[in-house]
Amino acid sequence: MIDVTAASQHASLNGRVTVNLSILFSELPLLERPAAAAAAGFTAAELWWPFGADHTPTEAELDALRKAFTDAGVQLTGLNFLDDLTKGAKGVLSVPAESKRFRENIPVAVALAESLGTKALNALYGNRVEGVDPAEQDALALENLVLAAQAAHAIGAVLLIEALNKVDAPDYPLHTAQAAVDIVDRVNAATGLGNATFLCDLYHLAVNGEDLPAVIAAHTGKTGHVQIADFPGRNEPGTGELNFDELFARLDAAGYPGRIGLEYRPSTGVSADSFEWLPRENRAG
CA contacts within 13 A on the Cβ side of 280 = 7
| 246 carries an active-site annotation | no
pLDDT digits (tens, 9 = 90+) for 85-122: 777 789 999 999 999 999 999 999 999 999 999 999 99
Strand-pair partners of 261: 18, 227
Smallest Cα–Cα separation from 196: which of 209, 205, 206, 187?
A: 187
pTM above 0.85, yes or no: yes
Q: Are 62 and 34 in contact (CB under 8 A)?
A: no
Smallest Cα–Cα separation from 230: which of 250, 245, 251, 249?
A: 245
> What is Dmax (Cα atoms) for the chain?
53
Distance CA 47, CA 4 (A): 30
Query: Which is catalytic among the residues 46, 98, 162, 236?
Result: 162
CA contacts within 13 A on the Cβ side of 172 = 27
3-state secondary structure of 18: strand
If pLDDT is split at 50, 70 and 90, which confidence band does 285 have? Answer: confident
Q: Which residues contact 183 (CB under 8 A, 6 or more apart)?
A: 125, 141, 142, 145, 161, 174, 196
Instruction: Identify the residue with better confidence: 7 or 89.
Output: 89
| 59 carries an active-site annotation | no
User: Which pLDDT value is given to residue 10?
Assistant: 65
First to last CA, the chain: 28
Q: Indicate the DSSP class of residue 98.
A: G
Is residue 75 pLDDT above 80, yes or no? yes
Distance CA 226, CA 261 (A): 6
Query: Which is catalytic among the residues 46, 98, 236, 263?
Result: 263
Is residue 144 pLDDT above 50, yes or no? yes
Q: Are 34 and 271 in contact (CB under 8 A)?
A: no
Distance CA 13, CA 235 (A): 18
Mean pLDDT for the stretch of residues 152-157: 98
